Amino acid sequence: MTMFLKPLVFLQDSFLAFLSIMHGGSSEDAAVAPKRLEASINGVRISIETTWIRQTRSFLIVPVFKFLVAVCLIVSLLVFVEGVYMNLVVLYVKLFKRKPEKVYKWEPMQEDIEVGHETYPMVLVQIPMYNEKEVLQLSIGAACRLIWPLDRIIVQVLDDSTDETIKELVNTECGKWESKGINIKCERRDNRNGYKAGALKQGMKHNYVKLCDYVAIFDADFQPEPDYLQRSIPFLVHNPEVALVQARWRFMNANKCLMTRMQEMSLNYHFMAEQESGSTRHAFFSFNGTAGVWRLAAMEEAGGWNDRTTVEDMDLAVRAGLLGWKFVFLNDLTVKSELPSKFKAFRFQQHRWSCGPANLFRKMIVEVIRNKRVTIWKKLYLIYSFFFLRKIIVHFFTFFFYCVILPTSVFFPEVNIPAWSTFYIPSLITLFIVIATPRSFYLVIFWVLFENVMSMHRTKGTFIGVLEGGRVNEWVVTEKLGDALKTKLLPHIGKPRNMFLERINSKEIIVGIYLLCCACYGLAFGNTLLYLYLFMQAAAFLVSGVGFVGT
Least confident of 372-376, 407-411, 443-447, 503-507: 503-507
pLDDT tens-digit map of 379-410:
999 999 999 999 999 999 999 999 999 999 99
Query: Is the distance from CB of 307 to CB of 201 less than 8 angstroms?
Result: yes
Is pLDDT at 39 greater than 70 in this prediction?
no
Question: For residue 543, is it within any domain?
Answer: no
Give a yes or no: residue 447 inside a domain: no
H/E run at residue 248: strand 242-251
Computed over every residue of the chain, the mean pLDDT equals 88
Distance CA 242, CA 239 (A): 6
Note the pLDDT of residue 17. 54
Q: Is 42 a member of any domain?
A: no
Higher per-residue pLDDT: 167 or 482: 167
Query: What was the pLDDT predicted at 475?
Result: 76
State the pLDDT at residue 501. 66
Over residues 318-360, the pLDDT tens digits come to: 999 999 999 999 999 999 999 999 998 999 999 999 999 999 9
- Percent of the chain's residues with pLDDT above 90: 75
pTM over 0.85: yes
- The pLDDT score that the predictor gives to residue 487 is 40
Hey, which residues are catalytic here?
160, 313
| pLDDT bracket for residue 28 (50, 70, 90) | very low
- Does some domain include residue 309? yes
pLDDT at position 50 is: 63
Do 374 and 324 form a contact (C-beta atoms < 8 A)? yes
The predicted model gives 437-464 an average pLDDT of: 95
- Residue 137 to residues 155, 171, 173, Cα–Cα distance (Å): 14, 11, 7
Is 192 a domain residue?
yes
Is pLDDT at 11 greater than 70 in this prediction?
A: no
Query: Is the predicted pLDDT of residue 64 greater than 80, yes or no?
Result: yes
What CATH number does residue 181 fall under?
3.90.550.10
Distance in angstroms (rounded) separating the CA atoms of residues 277 and 266: 16
Angle at 452 between CA 535 and CA 398, to 5 degrees: 120
pLDDT attached to residue 549? 87
In a domain, 426, yes or no: no
Q: What is the pLDDT of residue 209?
A: 96
Asked if residue 407 is part of any domain, the answer here is no
Residue 14 lies in a domain: no
Q: Write out pLDDT tens, residues 114-160.
A: 666 788 999 999 999 999 998 999 999 999 999 999 999 999 999 99
Residues 6+ apart with CB under 8 A from 380: none
Q: Which domain holds residue 300?
A: 100-338
Domain count, the chain: 1
pLDDT over 70, % of the chain: 85
